[in-house]
A and B are shown apart, each in its own frame.
Chain A
């Protein structure tokens, strides 16, 4: 009795079997726990220290996760890529049924698959926790997509280096050099039209970083992420194509295909870099690329504000809900005093910040339009954390509201449009903020102290009667009570 002849395996089935073999023994599998630990230390732990804002956490995640996964994936892929060379079995496996390029593609795909799985699992944990804490404004998926698109490119880079230059030094050196190149790429960014924004570390205008003011009132613009994904896809194709160029990679047809893939990849990379170079900082703090821009991205995102229960309600975008108790508590003493005064706002409403590129890496962040406008009047509030700078904790923000926002609110109500408040206006503002000890002019400080010493009802009655005159600058210091 003879065994039945085995039917030849379908090409796809055979490729699947090869991929399963590579998946089982991929070095990336052993590196995944290390990447996860580094993700926890460098990405997750600091993210949890930030307020639960999608823009801060997602944009910061992209930069840090790419930094963590780049050397890990490149190193593992270089190790896998140099396997045949290190074991000196290149000639031995040259006689196998599959071409060298196909074998290398399977090994690269396995490494990429494990890297993607590890990355997505890490990101999923971060996003699930953030979704439970955040009030709105997300989740933002483009930063996740750029990070995910970078992994095949990193794996291809490491794999190509390992395969083309198999040595015991290749793996560590290529991983460290790639990390250096990534860090170098962001050093080259000098404004929002820099080609170097194509670096996957960049999640927005590099000069302001993961800013708390973007992607809440307006959409997270996909322009730069699209260019970055194009670049990373092109880089992946070019590097994988390079693997198919040597004579040992396969037959003539296969090598020609590899050359075409390489050329197409390089062309895509060049196009993406050129597109990134046409970027500009838009008014909402994102990088807009004219060739990729959709006007729909410029429309504001609709939202139902969350409001506090103060004499004048304070209303914030739901993404900033976490700050509402601190902001209302910080503003409440002043709001109690100004409620009902002529010209006083009926609502404190959070507004979107506007961004303007200055020379070099400078960015001006401010409020478009007056602080108080409309009928009935509304005070447009820009939270201190919307003005750029390091990310603030809730208590840091409350301190900034107590010192800066309260002063701005009173100054806009009492001084109106005056750029230089007169002594009477200075005295009333200082009295209401209880900062008369810090006023350098002794006569102004004395008047402020006297006004602050009045009962609250008396102060309020005087302001109701005289606020219009005070605001227009007609009252002198001597006319204050």
Chain B
């Protein structure tokens, strides 16, 4: 005899069950904590923007916070369940995709909002491009190295980005569109590169998830 409560659910989840599944997924990925971290990044950026930064400091400041938000998003991809979760159903990729997209949008929105009324170097367009690109790097690293180690790629890229900004003063300037933080906000090549990396990261993490051993 199979008890009612343990029966396999029918295909096509009722709305409340779908919502519960999404909430459970978000909780398992520590999304509330991630949102808190993103909000904290935006608040600290807002406070920092009131500081009298020199020109170089003002340029690299948003990039550091963008990297912080992107690293937080990449860290949410780590699964505490591993293989057992992957065997549970077809909705997991959609949940991964939705989580990554929603958090990226939240991060870009929060950082752009932090810059309203203050001098945010590069403006909102720069924030969107850099956050998306850095998140893409993190998602790709999560798929290859695991969600817990995804920050390594973003950290390395942050170093390269900060150095590229430095070379705008002390040449020879690095001008590759693949180093998008050093390009102007309206640069199409840089936006394309960042977009491609973000798309690749989304695809990788949606299809395969983060490469996490059980317990990490």
Chain A interface residues (CB < 8 Å from chain B): 31, 34, 37-38, 41-42, 46, 49, 64, 67-68, 71-72, 75, 79, 86-87, 167-169, 171-173, 175-177, 179-180, 183-184, 187, 390-391
Contact = CB atoms under 8 A, between A and B. Distances in A.
B51 A187 contact: yes
A228 B181 CA distance: 32
A378 to B, nearest CB: 34
Contacts of B148: 79, 86, 168, 171
A167 B159 CA distance: 23
A472 B34 CA distance: 77
Interface string B138-173: 000000000111111011101110110001011010
A168 B75 contact: yes
Given A38-B156, A172-B75, A87 B163 contact: no
Contact of A183 (B34, B37, B64): B64
Interface of B: 30, 33-34, 37, 48, 51, 53-54, 57, 60-61, 64-65, 67-68, 71-72, 74-76, 78, 147-152, 154-156, 158-160, 162-163, 167, 169-170, 172, 215-216
14 contacts: A41-B163, A42-B159, A42-B160, A46-B167, A169-B30, A169-B33, A171-B148, A171-B151, A172-B68, A172-B71, A172-B72, A172-B155, A173-B72, A176-B67
A37 B167 CA distance: 18
Contact of B72 (A86, A169, A391): A169
Nearest to B36: A169
Contacts of B155: 71-72, 75, 172, 175-176
Closest 9 CB pairs of A and B: A172-B71, A172-B151, A176-B68, A168-B75, A42-B163, A180-B64, A187-B57, A71-B155, A38-B159
B172 A175 contact: no
Contacts of A167: 30, 33
Nearest to A209: B170
A17 B169 CA distance: 50
B53 A49 contact: no
B65 to A, nearest CB: 8
A132 to B, nearest CB: 23
Contacts of B71: 172-173, 176
Secondary structure call for the B interface: helix
B155 to A, nearest CB: 5
Most buried by A among B75, B155, B156: B155
Given A34-B156, A42-B160, A179 B64 contact: yes
A34 B152 CA distance: 8
B37 A169 contact: yes
A175 B172 CA distance: 28
A71 B158 contact: yes
A86 B51 contact: no
Nearest to B66: A176
Contacts of A180: 64-65, 68
B151 A75 contact: yes
Contacts of A49: 172
Contacts of A187: 51, 53-54, 57
Contact of A172 (B60, B74, B156, B216): B74
A177 B169 CA distance: 24
A172 B159 contact: no
Contacts of B78: 168
A177 B68 contact: yes
A184 B58 CA distance: 11
Given A75-B152, A169-B30, A180-B68, 7 more contacts: A38-B159, A42-B163, A86-B148, A173-B68, A176-B67, A176-B155, A184-B48
B64 A172 contact: no
B92 to A, nearest CB: 19
